[in-house]
Amino acid sequence: MESVNQHLADTGYSADWLADEIGLSRRQLDRRVQEVSGKTPADLIREMRLERASQLLRAHVGTVSEIAYSVGFKSPAHFSRVFRQAYGVSPSEVVDGESEPDMHA
């Protein structure tokens, strides 16, 4: 978790990078993360990025695009699409205070 948090802004950060960093094979990482979280490493990284983005959006610390880039998304459009799929609201709605992300969606 610490490694993922340190590299959230890095668009190239992936499950392979995480496995190398903590000294596991990709297969071992997949198994261990699945055991603990029920998710794949890629899904866990995406979820952590989205949770951090949600915090930043609610704190009004930048535009949607700035926040998307700051949590490691290469494209604000892709970020918005993934955010809406995960939380049921758009990042803009969160910034405008129109809605709160449904963290359980």
Q: Return d(Cα 57, Cα 40) in angstroms, integer.
A: 25
pLDDT at 57: 94
pLDDT at 65: 95
Domains in the chain: ranges and CATH: 2-95 (1.10.10.60)
User: What does the pLDDT look like over 71-99, one tens digit per residue?
Assistant: 999 999 999 999 999 999 999 998 887 66
pLDDT at 99: 62
User: What does the pLDDT look like over 15-67, one tens digit per residue?
Assistant: 999 999 999 999 999 999 999 999 999 999 999 999 999 999 999 999 999 99
Q: Return d(Cα 68, Cα 63) in angstroms, integer.
A: 8
Prediction pTM value: 0.86
pLDDT at 102: 60
Half-sphere exposure of 55 (CA within 13 A, CB side): 8
